Chains A and B, each alone.
Chain A
Amino acid sequence: MNFTRETWISLVLVLVLLTIPYAALQLGNPFYVTLATRMAILGLAAVGLNIALGLGGLVSFGHAAFFGIGGYAAGILASHAFSGQPLNFGLFSVAGTNSMPIIWMVAIIGGGLLAAAIGAISLRTSGVYFIMITLAFAQMTFYFAISWPAYGGEDGLSIFVRNGFPGVNTLVPINFFLICYALLIGGLLVFALLRNSRFGAALQAARQNEVRLASVGIAPFRIRLAAFVISGAITALAGALYADLNRFVSPSMLSWHMSGEFIVLIILGGVGRLAGPVAGAMLFVMFEFILGGLTERWQLFLGLVLLGVVLFARGGLIGLLAGRARHG
Chain B
Amino acid sequence: MAEAILDIRDLCKNFGALKATENVSLDLRPGEIHALIGPNGAGKSTLIHQIAGTLRPDSGAIDFLGHPVGHLGTAERARLGLGRSFQVSSLVPEFSALRNVMLAVQSRQGSSFRFFRPVMADASLVDPAMGALTRVGLEDRARVPAAELSHGERRQLEIAIALALGSKAFMLDEPMAGMGLEGSRQLTAFLDRLRDEAPILLVEHDMDAVFALADRISVLVYGRVIASGKVDEIRNDKEVRRAYLGDDA
> Measuring CB to CB, which residues of chain A are less than 8 angstroms from any residue of chain B?
193-194, 196-202, 204-205, 208-209, 211-220, 223, 226, 325, 327-328
Contacts and interface: CB of A to CB of B under 8 A. Distances in A.
Given A197-B119, A211-B90, A216 B114 contact: no
Interface string B88-107: 00111111101110111011
B112 A204 contact: no
Interface in B101-132: 102-104, 106-108, 111-120, 122, 125
B94 A216 contact: no
A204 B93 CA distance: 11
B74 interface: yes
A212 B90 contact: yes
Nearest to A1: B118
A68 to B, nearest CB: 26
B165 interface: yes
Contacts of B120: 196, 328
Contact of A209 (B92, B112, B114): B92
Contacts of A219: 73, 75-76
A204 B94 contact: yes
Most buried by A among B52, B86, B114, B125: B114
A201 B54 contact: no
Given A209-B90, A217-B108, A218-B107, A194 B96 contact: no
B111 A198 contact: yes
B173 to A, nearest CB: 11
Contacts of A202: 103, 106, 112
B78 interface: yes
Interface of B: 52, 54, 73-76, 78-79, 84, 86, 90-96, 98-100, 102-104, 106-108, 111-120, 122, 125, 143, 145, 161, 165
Nearest to B79: A217
B93 A217 contact: no
Most buried by A among B102, B111, B118: B118
A201 B90 contact: no
6 contacts: A193-B118, A198-B106, A198-B122, A208-B92, A216-B103, A220-B75
Contact of B119 (A201, A214, A215, A216): A201
Contact of B104 (A196, A204, A209, A217): A217
A157 B119 CA distance: 45
B52 A215 contact: yes
Given A215-B74, A217-B79, A219-B76, A327 B94 contact: yes
Contacts of B52: 215
B79 to A, nearest CB: 4
Most buried by B among A199, A204, A220: A199
Contacts, number: 113
A205 B112 CA distance: 12
Most buried by B among A201, A205, A218: A201
B96 A328 contact: yes
Contacts of B103: 201-202, 205, 212-213, 216, 218
Given A215-B74, A217-B78, A327-B96, A193 B115 contact: yes
A314 B122 CA distance: 32
Nearest to A226: B113
Contacts of B75: 213-215, 217-220
A328 B120 CA distance: 7
Given A196-B119, A198-B112, A215-B78, A328 B92 contact: no
Nearest to B106: A198
B180 to A, nearest CB: 25
Contacts of A197: 114-119
Most buried by B among A199, A216, A218, A220: A216
Contacts of B96: 327-328
Given A193-B115, A202-B112, 15 more contacts: A193-B116, A196-B120, A197-B115, A201-B102, A201-B103, A205-B92, A208-B93, A211-B74, A212-B103, A214-B74, A215-B75, A217-B165, A219-B75, A328-B96, A328-B99
Contacts of A328: 96, 98-99, 120, 143
Contacts of A211: 54, 74, 86, 90
Given A214-B78, A217-B75, A328-B143, A208 B113 contact: no
Nearest to B75: A219
A216 B161 contact: yes
Given A196-B119, A197-B115, A197-B116, A209 B91 contact: yes
A226 B113 CA distance: 9
Contact of A212 (B91, B98, B125): B91
Contacts of B78: 214-217
